[in-house]
Structure 1
Amino acid sequence: MTGLRITPAWRHSQERLYVGLPDGRNVAWYDRDTSRVSLLFDEQREAVLEALRPFLTGEFTVGPPPVPTPADLALLTLHPDDDLAPNRPGEALHAVLDGAAPPSRFRADPRRGALVAQQALGERLDGLEGAGWRVLHSVPLPGGGHIDHLLIGPAGIMTVRTLYVRKLRVRIADPLVTVGRTEPEPQLRWARREAERASLALAAAVRPVLGLVGAARVEVAPGAGAGNVRILRDGEGDVEALARLGGVLKPADIEALHATARDRRTWLRA
């Protein structure tokens, strides 16, 4: 057997390497933390071990996999091209900006600021993995849009719309958000719309979140705050506070929803 493909993924905050055929079907996986290679077909043992050789460290065991959960079964049938889990924060912007003209000295490209914000907040959100959360970045939506970050964890499901507001004052009066001296925009309405589309795709309740990156000050208009949109500031302990929330989803539910959400095809109905 030749051409086996190694695809890294994360499960329960632990790294796992999947070994797949050129057509995308997985035939084995290697859990680094347990040092175990799980084979779906024993006759492929030598080819799998040869493909994994650069990644194997110390003593390891080889054998059949444990009885798979429904989430495991869904992942085993997922083609790597449809798997959103490897997406970096700002993945969609990376693709656009890689082919864009160099930034001008006289006019900043707002997309580059948006990328910085998504990367900064995305890295903070990835830190929630240790508290039982699963995080996806740059989830594509029909029509060309994206959900910047999707959180699935003990406190439920959240979509995070990221806003780059470095060293500027932010004023919030539902549904409008004003950044510095720019014209107000209905950011809260857009955040709710993304949550609604995620709820439709996942058939589950989803809460909208607006992530503010680098704000100098945030002002909420009396009687016209953010409504049901959670405001998340990157430097105020707000992200870490999410790790203490719970009471909505059990671990098995989190894994099942994550397996569904990481499949690109799920979002075709959003």
Structure 2
Amino acid sequence: MRRLRVIPTAHHGRERLYVCLPDGRKIAWYDRQTARVNLLSEDEQESVLAALAPYLTGQVAVGPPPVPTPAELARLALHPDDDLAPNRPGEALLIALDRDPAPPARLRADPRRNALEAERTVGGCLDLLEGAGWHTLHSVPLPGGDRVHHLTIGPSGVYAVHALYARKHRVRITDPLVAVGRRAPWPLLRLVRAAADRASYALTAEVRPVLAVVAPSRLETPAAPRGVRVLTEADLGGLAREGAVLKPADVAALHAMARDRNTWARV
């Protein structure tokens, strides 16, 4: 039996143990998250399992690496410059603030910073759904300078989520108008619906609009807005508890399409 080396690594956030020959060539790896030993050479199975024995717990599957799905192949073929998945919550605002920071002597607070706080808060809540089979993209650019604040895709569907800063302010919604504190009402729900409609066109799938109101002192909706979910950031986790309408393969395929910047060039 050959003497093999076991090398721990992190791969896209997953811990893996690679099994290598003395010359450094990899012949297998153990993925702790999936409890699977992937063999590049079935002839080495006995040696590989012996080398991994101190690290294996419970039952594990053993076999050749799984065949990549069409979504995985699309991701591998995607140029890094066109991949929207690395975008941080509020990515567009972060870039704008870096390029044009507000002057220090400015009397009024820069509204972009409040908007950034809202997008970071909402984005953080949506990112927590990832373990439940969800994928969220942030700051998805649309032609004309518009964007979808957050596009979240999961078993219960696809949602275009718009983050609204309202800390310690009363928010009153009378479709299509939204009033925050003493500010004059403006037709925000039209923008929220328009972003979802454009996303539906780009993905050829139903995308439902959501307005996520961050930290309001009170949220008033005398009548339910037409076709728009209005939630606070604390309610966003409820999206994962709704009935499933998409299979995991559908979620993966829509995510692969949505993360490609070129998908949005035609809307």
Instruction: Identify whether the pair has TM-score above 0.5, normalized to the shorter chain.
Output: yes
Which one of the candidate residues 238, 243, 253 is aligned to 2:250?
Answer: 253
Q: Are 1:172 and 1:220, in contact at CA under 8 Å, matched by a contact in 2?
A: yes
Q: 1:219 to 1:34 in 2, by over 3 A?
A: closer
- For 1:198, the equivalent position in structure 2 comes to 199
- 5+ residue gaps, structure 1, are 1-7, 17-28, 41-57
- For 2:170, the equivalent position in structure 1 comes to 169
Q: Are 1:9 and 1:86, in contact at CA under 8 Å, matched by a contact in 2?
A: no
Deviates more, 1:196-205 or 1:91-100: 91-100
Deviates more, 1:148-157 or 1:31-40: 31-40
- Report the AA paired with residue 224 of structure 2: G
How far, CA to CA, are the matches of 1:253 and 1:204 in structure 2? Answer: 10
How far, CA to CA, are the matches of 1:268 and 1:126 in structure 2? Answer: 25
Q: 1:37 to 1:182 in 2, by over 3 A?
A: farther
1:267 aligned to 2:255? no
- Report the AA paired with residue 186 of structure 2: E
- For 1:241, the equivalent position in structure 2 comes to 238
What is the CA deviation profile of residues 77-96 of structure 1, one whole-angstrom value per residue up to 9, with x for unaligned ones?
A: 10111111111000011100
How far, CA to CA, are the matches of 1:9 and 1:269 in structure 2? Answer: 30
Q: Are 1:89 and 1:123, in contact at CA under 8 Å, matched by a contact in 2?
A: yes
Q: For this pair of structures, how many residues does the alignment match?
A: 226
Q: What is the correspondence of 1:59-78 to structure 2 with a 5 Å cutoff?
A: 65-78=65-78
Q: 1:79 to 1:188 in 2, by over 3 A?
A: same
The offset of 1:142, in angstroms, is: 0.8
- For 1:50, the equivalent position in structure 2 comes to none
Q: Secondary structure at the match of 1:246?
A: coil
- For 2:93, the equivalent position in structure 1 comes to 93
Q: Secondary structure at the match of 1:231?
A: strand
Q: 1:39 to 1:245 in 2, by over 3 A?
A: same
- Report the AA paired with residue 229 of structure 1: V
- For 1:218, the equivalent position in structure 2 comes to 219
The offset of 1:145, in angstroms, is: 1.3
Which protein shows a greater Rg? Answer: 2
What is the CA deviation profile of residues 124-163 of structure 1, one whole-angstrom value per residue up to 9, with x for unaligned ones?
A: 1100111111111000111111110001011100000111
Q: Secondary structure at the match of 2:99?
A: coil
How far, CA to CA, are the matches of 2:120 and 2:255 in structure 1? Answer: 21
What is the CA deviation profile of residues 216-269 of structure 1, one whole-angstrom value per residue up to 9, with x for unaligned ones?
A: 101112xx431210012013xx11211211221011100111011011111111
The offset of 1:104, in angstroms, is: 4.1
Q: 1:9 to 1:111 in 2, by over 3 A?
A: farther
What is the CA deviation profile of residues 156-192 of structure 1, one whole-angstrom value per residue up to 9, with x for unaligned ones?
A: 0000011111100000100000001111111111100
How far, CA to CA, are the matches of 2:211 and 2:39 in structure 1? Answer: 43
Deviates more, 1:73-82 or 1:101-110: 101-110
Q: Are 1:82 and 1:264, in contact at CA under 8 Å, matched by a contact in 2?
A: yes
- Report the AA paired with residue 67 of structure 1: V
1:82 aligned to 2:79? no
1:146 aligned to 2:147? yes
- Report the AA paired with residue 95 of structure 1: I
Q: 1:130 to 1:185 in 2, by over 3 A?
A: same
Q: Are 1:35 and 1:59, in contact at CA under 8 Å, matched by a contact in 2?
A: no
The offset of 1:9, in angstroms, is: 4.8
Give the share of equivalent positions with the same residue, in percent. 61
- For 2:228, the equivalent position in structure 1 comes to 229
Computed over aligned residues only, the root mean square deviation of the Cα atoms, in angstroms, reads 2.8
- Report the AA paired with residue 212 of structure 1: V
How far, CA to CA, are the matches of 2:205 and 2:143 in structure 1? Answer: 19
- 5+ residue gaps, structure 2, are 1-10, 17-28, 41-53, 57-62
How far, CA to CA, are the matches of 2:88 and 2:185 in structure 1? Answer: 29
- For 1:52, the equivalent position in structure 2 comes to none
- Report the AA paired with residue 170 of structure 1: V
